[in-house]
Amino acid sequence: MVAAQRWRDTGQKRPPDEVSLSRPHWSDVVRRRTGGWILEAAAAFRGPIYDPVLRKTARAVLPILFRGRGVVCPCCHRTFRSFIRRYRWDALCPGCLSLSRHRLLWLYLRHETDLLDRPQSLLHFAPEEAIEKHLEAAPLRYVRADLHPRSPDVTKADITSLPFHEGEFDVVLCSHVLEHVADDRKAMAELHRVLKPDGRLYMLQPVRLENAATLEDPFVTARWQRRRLFGQRDHVRIYGRDLISRLESAGFAVTPERYSRRLPWEHVRLYGLHDEPIFVCRKSALTL
């Protein structure tokens, strides 16, 4: 059953902006894959030229290639014929290069939290470009940190030894970081340390919920082995359902939010969202 028939059968209204949910035309498939090839070629450089030159070029060329009104990016508020196919059909925004998880996190922060409504202190580790521009405009004490900072405004920091005081932040954002970190338990402890009592950590991680235990092996060091076992050549594990117990061991009370499942199906399609849990981790308000 094609997608267009599926939404008719469920009795839902036609998706916003007259989004076509029928089988994509062959030209759309070519366009999506061409955009993916462009970014794959850009990523192959992985050097200083990639950020300042190729990303700028991609942002200038891809919106023209994907011009249309088939999807909407909530991060840059622009419409395109489709998102760029990279691993999934809904992966990359042609305008701001946001991924599905960036769009999901931004929608959740905007509509389900008070982060943007009142002055707070926020630590954003490995900040995503598509999100940080919105956070900079909010009434926040906004601190960005990364092991490999791309600008002088980002603090150089190792997540297993953060250069911040205990209880310094109300909120921490950390998305798709710990799968790269050898000692993830120490990193979790550090994220807990820098939060104020009753502070919140919003975390996204690659996770296979069908697996009870995390798959990791410190002796797997070859890139091809890591890609085969963990999904990416620079990953050192793939989490299972025990990610929650690891976070709880660090002192957090954890609630997995399946936010995309609470949205109408047409909005999931419109914004190019993936069914990925957001782990809402709260530090206890009690201090011993």
pLDDT tens digits for range 165-213? 999 999 999 999 999 999 999 999 999 999 999 999 999 999 998 999 9
Q: Are residues 70 and 168 in the same domain?
A: no
Q: Are residues 253 and 115 in the same domain?
A: yes
Q: Are residues 33 and 83 in the same domain?
A: yes
At 119 the three-state DSSP class reads coil
pLDDT at 281 over 60: yes
The domain in which residue 237 lies consists of 101-264+271-283
Q: What is the pLDDT of residue 232?
A: 85
Q: What is the pLDDT of residue 14?
A: 38
Is residue 288, in this structure, part of any structural domain at all? Answer: no
How many independent structural domains does the chain possess?
2
What CATH number has the domain bearing residue 199? 3.40.50.150
In this prediction, residues 23-27 reach a mean pLDDT of: 44
pLDDT tens digits for range 83-137? 887 655 558 898 888 999 999 999 999 999 999 999 999 999 999 999 999 999 9
Last residue of a domain, one of 98, 133, 168: 98
Q: Are residues 207 and 256 in the same domain?
A: yes
DSSP string, 186-217: HHHHHHHHHEEEEEEEEEE--B-TT-SS-EE-
235 or 15, higher pLDDT: 235
Reported as a pLDDT band with limits 50, 70 and 90, residue 62 is: confident
Reported as a pLDDT band with limits 50, 70 and 90, residue 268 is: very high
Distances in Å between the Cα of 61 and the Cα atoms of 50, 72, 95, 207, 252 are: 15, 18, 9, 33, 44
Cα distance between residue 183 and residue 143, in whole Å: 23
Q: What is the pLDDT of residue 4?
A: 39
pLDDT tens digits for range 1-18? 334 343 334 444 434 433
Cα distance between residue 200 and residue 254, in whole Å: 10
**Mean pLDDT: which of 19-23, 54-58, 84-88, 99-103 is highest?**
99-103
Reported as a pLDDT band with limits 50, 70 and 90, residue 51 is: low
Q: What is the pLDDT of residue 171?
A: 98
